Chain A
Amino acid sequence: MNTYKLKNMKTIKLLALLFISTLAISCSNDDDGHGDDHDSEEELITTVVYTLTNNADNTDVVTLTFTDLDGEGGADGTYDISGPLTANATYTGGIKLWNATENPAEDITEEVEGEADEHEFFYSNTAGLTITKTDVDGNGNPVGIETTIATGSAATGSITVILKHEPTKPNNGTSSDAGGSTDVEVTFSIEVQ
């Protein structure tokens, strides 16, 4: 009886040793990477271009551009609006995101398109526009890379474009309902005349 207990204790001690050494072995891989430490900001979006083309007149093209070449921090971004929109017209909108720090500039829109189910653009405006998303992801939910814009009567106001990463899909169409984290939020001042 006594020897049995003694054996028992020895077994426990052996098991304890085995447990500890397993831990020691399993955690001895630490891969080190040397070399050039200068990484560029791969995911940086430096440029947002929203191009609106009048369906009735393909020479009526309005481009709304946001540029912040040095990314977050540094100098503030700048806005460039090519001209006014025509009243009571219908435009086809297409949005492009670029990383212009890469050479040639990297098209981030492709990445968003590739993960369309994890992304959604939201458009809001104060210029009496009706903006409709015309594309869908694999699940039939809107993405918003492609849009249709119907203008009303003459007005001034703004368009806000928001890109959400990992939003709730489907949602009620507003960015606040969608949650997720904001990858893009830019506001263009526009004029409809």
Chain B
Amino acid sequence: MKHYLLVVALCFFNLAHTQNCTYTLLGEIKDFHDGTPMSGATIYNETSNTYTSADINGKFTIENLCNGKLVLVISHVGCETKRLEVGINGDTYKEVNMEHHLEELKEITVTADTKDEKTSIQQTVSKKQIETFTDKSLGDVLNTVSGVSSLNTGNTIVKPMIHGLHSSRLLIVNNNVRLFDQEWGDEHAPNIDINSSGRIDVIKGANSLMYGSDAIGGLILIRPENYAVKDSLFGSTSVSLNTNGWGGNINSELIKTYKNGFYTKFQGSYKTFGDFKSPKFNLSNTGLKSINTSVRVGFKSFEKGFDAYYSFVDNTLGILRASHIGNTNDLVRAINSGEPQYVANFSHSIDNPKQSIFHHLGKIEAYKRFKEFGKLTLQYDFQINRRKEFDLRRGERANTPVVDLRLFTTSFQPNLKIDAYENLKLNTGFLLRYQQNDAISGTGTSPLIPDYDKYDFGIYAIGTYNLNLFSEISTGFRYDFSRIEASKRYRVTDWDETYNYDELFPEFNSGIIESSEYLTNPEFSFHNISASLGYLRHMRNDFEFTFNYGLASRMPNPSELFSEGLHHSAARIEIGQLTMEKEVANKFIVSLERSNQNFGFTISPYYKYISNFIQLIPIGTTTTVRGAFPVWEYNQTNAQIFGVDVDVNKTITNNLYYIGSLSLLRGDNLSDDIPLINMPATNFSNSLTYTNEKLNQLSIGLTQKTVLQQNRFPDYNFFTFDATLQQDVFVNISSTPATYTLFNFNSSAKFKVFKTKTLSVAFNVENLFNVSYREHLNRLRYFADELGRNFNIKLKINY
């Protein structure tokens, strides 16, 4: 019809112009990236409704043209069809550049299998899976990935752990910005609203040099969604309600896209929970409140574009009241009693102890592609993290935080991808970063982390080479320079005697003494070198083999260098050491994968050797006005961690689908020939899902997860004298809780509403059999059981 109209219009056009039409257009069609001629491209002359095609050199001619405008539509296999106007003025030459990197422009071409680098060993959590965790944390979502566990403080502070490594050893990258939110603390969870993300990748292998040199554990990439270039306004709202904690989450997002390439997205979520409940007890003061919002504005075209993103997270997290203790004897009492020492009626209010955290993240990124060369991206970002921790205090200090730290980070990172060569891709760039920590005054405590300024510079290059049709190899190098300049007060006795710093670091001491403390200015510089090597081979029957080697170096974080203070929830004094050296890891990981819907699996063994591994371990007790107090000190040891992750999927019948996973891990402290502290235990899960597409996409599933008792743990148990009982009592801080098995039930269906809109409904039960259990990677395991049964309803409407 359209063509017919065109023809009619053209007839009139031709009638009106009876001029000299003898000119020739010579066209040449080239690949944008490397300039190779694109033979066989189809050229549709819209003006005259005729077709022609490019020859082997990418050239074509159209003859008998008049002066004026000509509309051509050029298409080629694998390329985006291009429509352009050509001005004819006598015999004319026109070069046309075609683009075959369609996936970067299209909608939802980002499927679960897309990798940044094909040789990377990674697992992906899709938007659909993320949505089932809408009222949970990042750590909870990632816990479903084999080889990933979490270090928890209660049930709301969840730190992801890859292969037993957490905190500064994991790079968390949100929207291409490396997250800096005081991640060094064991009880500091990443401040991310998972509802704002489109997909999460967990990279276990070595392909992380673009983001940093210190990914000893791995990399977590939180990515936004991509939108189609068309005029559209759409969004969704979801509500999740729970019986455990009597709370839930509401999340809304609204997206506007334009045909000219502009897009904008607003997203916001609000989450609130009251006290959670273990099967037997109310977990008093474990509620949370969370307000999140994000805005994204951008423009996207093939040659150039920009993306601006801002997100804000405000979390208030209650900490189990029963975990607030004063000394070793209180800890012994908590461990031996087996039940929380403080239980009150259910409440939605969050009292002390609690954490209150703001996190602002903003970034702007712009890119431009250059013909026969590649793509240049510039990115600027900033983050402000403000952390306040409130404790039970004497006097009128209830509203004064004991910890109040503000961390400001800003960075600039240009990146250049060179894709002009057929089999070779290069990715290179550098990084400039400044970070400032400000211990806010007015807390009435000496700061756990001192004021410091930190400067980083990094430069990297990664090359990927296609060896042949079936195999690919990639390699990369990175160099980082970091300098940290701190200002901290040390007790004269500690500086001169306990740590012997007067001999080790006399240059840091300003000599100024105030209330028997030295004012010192520790300054350290680190040079880190890291490298990666990856190899991928496709084989028959959907088999794929991947090998990764990585060399990663990490400078000690501020907590490991400077921390000094008392942690009430753990009843311990934590002490950092200025003598810390950088940690260096050699990582080997192999993956044999069969991607097949009927029967697929991944087997991925790994081995890591980490020299100067920094760990926090108990070293004894100190006598204080509170009585005996365990002292935990950071020290360094050589360590190895090895294990295997296995994932299996199988279609049993058309409607029945099985997924299973198994993680085995062993960590050794080689220097002392004992197990490493806080290593995840063997765990496995099985899930069976029934789906029926015809019946409102009904899905019913049952998941079992078992975590075995960790029998390999370093024994740091000790005895302490209880003056009230007049005897030595055993402080069982190392022994691990028993094996547990949990069952989860889930179901969902979709319904059509308002003619074209979809309403998704889900009903889930967590901890189906209300099992009482404790997890050894929960820092509050001494004080209370984990969560009991929870009924959950989720509603989501797309509009």
A binds B: yes
Residues of chain A touching chain B, judged by Cβ–Cβ distance below 8 Å, are 5, 8-9, 12-13, 16-17, 19-24, 26-28, 30, 32-43, 45-46, 48, 66, 68-77, 101, 108, 111-112, 114-115, 122, 124, 126, 158, 160, 162, 164-166, 174-176, 179-187
Ranked nearest first, the 3 interchain pairs of A and B with the lowest CB-CB distance are: A182-B326, A185-B627, A42-B444
- B residues 770-799 near A (Cβ < 8 Å) are 797, 799
- B residues 571-596 near A (Cβ < 8 Å) are 573, 575
Decide: A20 and B254 in contact? CB cutoff 8 A.
yes
- What are 19 A-B contacts with C-beta separation under 8 Å? A22-B268, A23-B268, A30-B360, A33-B441, A40-B446, A43-B395, A70-B494, A71-B625, A112-B394, A114-B395, A115-B394, A160-B724, A164-B326, A165-B326, A175-B724, A176-B333, A179-B341, A183-B394, A186-B627
Decide: A76 and B625 in contact? CB cutoff 8 A.
no
Decide: B393 and A160 in contact? CB cutoff 8 A.
no
A13 vs B254: C-alpha distance when bound (angstroms): 7
Whether a CB of chain A sits under 8 angstroms from the CB of B438 is yes
Decide: A74 and B623 in contact? CB cutoff 8 A.
no
Could you say which residues of chain A place their CB within 8 Å of the CB of B292?
23
Kindly supply a per-residue 1/0 record for chain B positions 390-424, scoring 1 wherever the CB is within 8 Å of any chain A CB and 0 otherwise.
00111101000000101000000000000000000
Decide: A70 and B442 in contact? CB cutoff 8 A.
no
Decide: B441 and A24 in contact? CB cutoff 8 A.
no
Whether a CB of chain A sits under 8 angstroms from the CB of B354 is no
Q: Known: A45-B625, A69-B516. Is A16-B235 also a contact (CB below 8 A)? A: yes
Could you say which residues of chain B place their CB within 8 Å of the CB of A77?
623-625
Contacting B324 at CB < 8 Å: which of A43, A126, A181? A181
Could you say which residues of chain A place their CB within 8 Å of the CB of B565?
73
Least distance between B398 CB and chain A CB atoms (Å): 10
A28 vs B177: C-alpha distance when bound (angstroms): 21
Contacting A23 at CB < 8 Å: which of B254, B270, B439? B270
- B residues 424-455 near A (Cβ < 8 Å) are 438-447, 451
Q: Known: A23-B292, A35-B441. Is A68-B625 also a contact (CB below 8 A)? A: yes
Least distance between B417 CB and chain A CB atoms (Å): 34
Residue in B closest to A103 when the chains form the complex, CB atoms: B515
Decide: A33 and B625 in contact? CB cutoff 8 A.
no
A70 vs B514: C-alpha distance when bound (angstroms): 12
Residue in B closest to A178 when the chains form the complex, CB atoms: B341
Decide: B491 and A181 in contact? CB cutoff 8 A.
no
A179 vs B334: C-alpha distance when bound (angstroms): 9
Least distance between A33 CB and chain B CB atoms (Å): 5
Could you say which residues of chain A place their CB within 8 Å of the CB of B627?
162, 182, 185-187
Contacting B406 at CB < 8 Å: which of A12, A32, A66? A32
Q: Known: A9-B757, A20-B252, A111-B394. Is A185-B384 also a contact (CB below 8 A)? A: no
Least distance between A68 CB and chain B CB atoms (Å): 5
Kindly supply a per-residue 1/0 record for chain B positions 487-499, scoring 1 wherever the CB is within 8 Å of any chain A CB and 0 otherwise.
0010101100110
Residue in A closest to B450 when the chains form the complex, CB atoms: A37
Decide: A72 and B293 in contact? CB cutoff 8 A.
no
Given contact pairs A20-B253, A111-B395, a sample of 17 additional A-B residue pairs in the complex whose CB atoms are under 8 Å apart: A20-B254, A23-B269, A23-B293, A36-B441, A42-B397, A48-B625, A70-B494, A70-B516, A72-B626, A114-B395, A124-B724, A174-B724, A181-B326, A182-B327, A185-B326, A185-B627, A185-B723
Q: Known: A19-B268, A39-B442, A73-B494. Is A184-B291 also a contact (CB below 8 A)? A: no
Could you say which residues of chain B place their CB within 8 Å of the CB of A30?
358, 360, 384, 386
Contacting B438 at CB < 8 Å: which of A5, A34, A185? A34
The winner among B292, B314, B514 for most chain A CB atoms within 10 A is B314
Decide: B445 and A68 in contact? CB cutoff 8 A.
no
Least distance between B341 CB and chain A CB atoms (Å): 5
Whether a CB of chain A sits under 8 angstroms from the CB of B132 is no
The winner among A26, A35, A73 for most chain B CB atoms within 10 A is A73
The winner among B270, B445, B498, B625 for most chain A CB atoms within 10 A is B625
Residue in A closest to B324 when the chains form the complex, CB atoms: A181
Kindly supply a per-residue 1/0 record for chain B positions 325-356, scoring 1 wherever the CB is within 8 Å of any chain A CB and 0 otherwise.
11101100100000001100000000000000
Least distance between A129 CB and chain B CB atoms (Å): 14
Could you say which residues of chain B place their CB within 8 Å of the CB of A34?
438
Could you say which residues of chain A place their CB within 8 Å of the CB of B250?
19
A9 vs B312: C-alpha distance when bound (angstroms): 27
Could you say which residues of chain A place their CB within 8 Å of the CB of B623?
68, 76-77
Decide: B291 and A23 in contact? CB cutoff 8 A.
yes
Decide: A162 and B493 in contact? CB cutoff 8 A.
no
Least distance between A46 CB and chain B CB atoms (Å): 7
A176 vs B341: C-alpha distance when bound (angstroms): 10
Could you say which residues of chain B place their CB within 8 Å of the CB of A74?
491, 493-494, 498
Could you say which residues of chain A place their CB within 8 Å of the CB of B755?
5
Could you say which residues of chain B place their CB within 8 Å of the CB of A12?
237, 797, 799
Could you say which residues of chain A place their CB within 8 Å of the CB of B491?
70, 73-75
Q: Known: A21-B266, A76-B622. Is A27-B395 also a contact (CB below 8 A)? A: no
Contacting A165 at CB < 8 Å: which of B394, B498, B516, B799? B394
A74 vs B491: C-alpha distance when bound (angstroms): 7
Decide: A8 and B312 in contact? CB cutoff 8 A.
no
Could you say which residues of chain A place their CB within 8 Å of the CB of B324?
181
Could you say which residues of chain B place their CB within 8 Å of the CB of A23?
268-270, 291-293
Whether a CB of chain A sits under 8 angstroms from the CB of B562 is no
Q: Known: A30-B358, A185-B626. Is A37-B441 also a contact (CB below 8 A)? A: yes
Could you say which residues of chain A place their CB within 8 Å of the CB of B441?
33, 35-39
Could you say which residues of chain B place their CB within 8 Å of the CB of A124?
723-724
Residue in B closest to A174 when the chains form the complex, CB atoms: B724
A66 vs B497: C-alpha distance when bound (angstroms): 22
Could you say which residues of chain A place their CB within 8 Å of the CB of B120?
none
Contacting A72 at CB < 8 Å: which of B342, B394, B622? B622
Could you say which residues of chain A place their CB within 8 Å of the CB of B395?
43, 111, 114-115
Least distance between B445 CB and chain A CB atoms (Å): 6
Could you say which residues of chain B place their CB within 8 Å of the CB of A27?
291, 293, 312, 314, 358
Decide: B295 and A37 in contact? CB cutoff 8 A.
no
A177 vs B326: C-alpha distance when bound (angstroms): 15
Could you say which residues of chain B place their CB within 8 Å of the CB of A158?
723
Could you say which residues of chain A place their CB within 8 Å of the CB of B227?
none
Could you say which residues of chain A place their CB within 8 Å of the CB of B529?
none
A168 vs B172: C-alpha distance when bound (angstroms): 43
Contacting A160 at CB < 8 Å: which of B254, B498, B629, B723? B723
Least distance between B291 CB and chain A CB atoms (Å): 5
Q: Known: A16-B235, A27-B314, A39-B442. Is A181-B625 also a contact (CB below 8 A)? A: no
Decide: B392 and A165 in contact? CB cutoff 8 A.
yes
Could you say which residues of chain B place their CB within 8 Å of the CB of A175?
724
Whether a CB of chain A sits under 8 angstroms from the CB of B12 is no
Decide: B631 and A73 in contact? CB cutoff 8 A.
yes
Residue in B closest to A72 when the chains form the complex, CB atoms: B624
Whether a CB of chain A sits under 8 angstroms from the CB of B70 is no
Least distance between B392 CB and chain A CB atoms (Å): 6
Residue in B closest to A44 when the chains form the complex, CB atoms: B625
Least distance between B447 CB and chain A CB atoms (Å): 7
A114 vs B396: C-alpha distance when bound (angstroms): 10
Decide: A20 and B266 in contact? CB cutoff 8 A.
yes
Q: Known: A27-B293, A182-B327. Is A13-B624 also a contact (CB below 8 A)? A: no
Least distance between B58 CB and chain A CB atoms (Å): 47
The winner among B269, B439, B441 for most chain A CB atoms within 10 A is B441
Least distance between A167 CB and chain B CB atoms (Å): 10
Could you say which residues of chain A place their CB within 8 Å of the CB of B267?
20
- B residues 589-622 near A (Cβ < 8 Å) are 622
Q: Known: A27-B293, A37-B440. Is A9-B622 also a contact (CB below 8 A)? A: no
Decide: A9 and B723 in contact? CB cutoff 8 A.
no
A74 vs B797: C-alpha distance when bound (angstroms): 59
Could you say which residues of chain B place their CB within 8 Å of the CB of A176?
333, 724
A176 vs B329: C-alpha distance when bound (angstroms): 9
Contacting A33 at CB < 8 Å: which of B327, B341, B440, B568? B440
The winner among A69, A75, A114, A174 for most chain B CB atoms within 10 A is A75
Whether a CB of chain A sits under 8 angstroms from the CB of B754 is yes
Whether a CB of chain A sits under 8 angstroms from the CB of B480 is no
Residue in B closest to A68 when the chains form the complex, CB atoms: B625
